[in-house]
């Protein structure tokens, strides 16, 4: 069986996972006397890539040794993100080696610490930062460097989800164009959590947002909801199938920066709104359609098309500031300046939550497992 190489903690998990998955292999494992052990843990595990609802199961893992530099964290909450689903399906460019525990971000409380650990004590609220694999389990044992202590007053569900979506929104607003108060951004997929974060983070900086949503029943309510978050303009795709869509933006400057998480026609609409020299950043492709661009958009309108992938950003030296940004985002969440809908579900209801995250019941709030 392939070895787990993603992190030392997952490496440590391997014999345990193998034991748990093959009961006959659970023979004699001799441990040194006085070794600190984690409590036993329930975990969402997949042994092969495939449809998440059929390849994942919840199993019991035996205790893990807490070495001198390790911290054992009792997980409190962790979301089911679309990228978690893609990782299980095996369609993500970074393919965790199986068997693996699902999940990538989350929040927990320090349960016990190794003898050489400094700066973390039982009861501290921590997140894995940068995020790392295997957050869908009751107890995680990883090196102390993995864990970042956050403000104890942080709302749990935001602490569990602060990195993947809000940090993406924040980086995309900062890393491509220098925006100042009064500037304008345009985005499709505005109802996504990243989209909602962009609206609020932009608003917080005095930046206007033009938002495109798909045609749907109840679009007026959706518009109202996004405007309450701070959206300046919200259009459905069909409202923009007019000759001069730009004339709809009376009184605000042409957008300098655009965000695309849909592709196809919705991406073309973002390009249409962008002013000369503008940049469109692609961070998702919900329609599964490619992006089509005219030659003249590049030559005469001087548009730039770029992409953003948080996991790649995390591997650069820029990620050093990640933890400072997390604090900033959690401050905003605490102050009610950054909000989005989530549904907290008990760990026992994992597969029901997974079905919702897979879209089996239509559009649903983000599912966050409450351990």
Residues with catalytic function: 92
Smallest distance, a second copy to C-beta of residue 185, A = 17
The token pair that represents 7 in the structure block: 């992190």
| Closer CB to a second copy, 148 or 259, in the complex | 259
The token pair that represents 286 in the structure block: 């919900």
| Closer CB to a second copy, 62 or 285, in the complex | 285
> Longest C-alpha distance within the chain, in Å?
77
Smallest distance, a second copy to C-beta of residue 289, A = 8
Residues forming contacts to a second copy in the complex (CB under 8 A) are 93, 263, 281-285, 290-309, 312
Residue 8, SS3? Answer: helix
| Closer CB to a second copy, 225 or 301, in the complex | 301
Whole-angstrom distance, CA of residue 105 vs CA of residue 159 = 9
Smallest distance, a second copy to C-beta of residue 278, A = 12
CB half-sphere exposure, 212, CA atoms < 13 A: 29
Smallest distance, a second copy to C-beta of residue 276, A = 9
Which string of b and e fits 36-75 if b means at least 16 CB within 10 Å? Answer: bebeebbbbbbbebeebeebbeebebbbbbbbebbbbbbb
Nearest by Cα to 349 from 362, 368, 336: 368
Residue with tokens 């989530």: 342
Whole-angstrom distance, CA of residue 322 vs CA of residue 312 = 13
| Closer CB to a second copy, 39 or 290, in the complex | 290
- CB-CB contact of 125 with 149 (8 Å): yes
Whole-angstrom distance, CA of residue 333 vs CA of residue 63 = 35
Smallest distance, a second copy to C-beta of residue 163, A = 17
| Closer CB to a second copy, 308 or 371, in the complex | 308
């Amino acid at each position: 069986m392939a070895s787990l190489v993603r992190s030392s903690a997952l490496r440590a998990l391997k014999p345990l996972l193998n034991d748990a998955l093959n009961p006959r292999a659970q023979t004699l494992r001799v441990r040194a006397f006085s070794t600190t052990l984690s409590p036993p843990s329930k975990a969402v595990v997949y042994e092969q890539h495939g449809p998440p609802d059929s390849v994942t199961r919840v199993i019991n893992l035996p205790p893990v040794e807490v070495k001198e530099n390790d911290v054992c964290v009792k997980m409190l909450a962790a979301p089911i993100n679309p990228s978690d689903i893609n990782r299980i399906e095996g369609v993500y460019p970074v393919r965790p080696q199986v068997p693996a525990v699902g999940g990538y971000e989350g929040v927990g409380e320090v349960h016990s610490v190794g003898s050489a650990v400094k700066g973390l004590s039982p009861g501290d609220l921590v997140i894995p930062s940068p995020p790392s694999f295997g957050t869908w389990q009751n107890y995680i044992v990883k090196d102390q460097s993995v864990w970042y202590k956050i403000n104890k007053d942080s709302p749990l569900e935001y602490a569990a989800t602060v990195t993947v979506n809000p940090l993406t929104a924040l980086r995309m607003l900062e890393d491509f164009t220098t925006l100042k108060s009064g500037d304008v951004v345009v985005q499709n997929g505005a109802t996504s959590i990243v989209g909602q974060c962009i609206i609020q983070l932009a608003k917080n900086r005095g930046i206007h947002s033009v938002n495109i949503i798909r045609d749907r029943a109840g679009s007026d309510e959706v518009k109202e909801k996004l405007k309450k978050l701070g959206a300046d303009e919200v259009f459905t795709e069909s409202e923009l199938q007019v000759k001069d869509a730009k004339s709809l933006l009376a009184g605000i400057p042409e957008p300098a920066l655009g965000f695309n998480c849909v592709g196809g026609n919705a991406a073309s609409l973002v390009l249409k709104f962008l002013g000369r020299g503008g940049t469109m950043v692609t961070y998702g492709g919900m329609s599964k359609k490619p992006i089509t661009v005219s030659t003249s958009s590049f030559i005469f309108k001087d548009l730039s098309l770029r992409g953003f992938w948080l996991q790649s950003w995390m591997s650069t030296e820029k990620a050093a500031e990640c933890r400072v940004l997390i604090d900033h985002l959690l401050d905003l969440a605490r102050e009610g300046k950054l909000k989005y809908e989530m549904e907290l579900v008990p760990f026992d209801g994992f597969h029901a939550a997974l079905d919702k995250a897979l879209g089996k019941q239509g559009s649903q709030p983000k599912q966050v497992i409450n351990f």
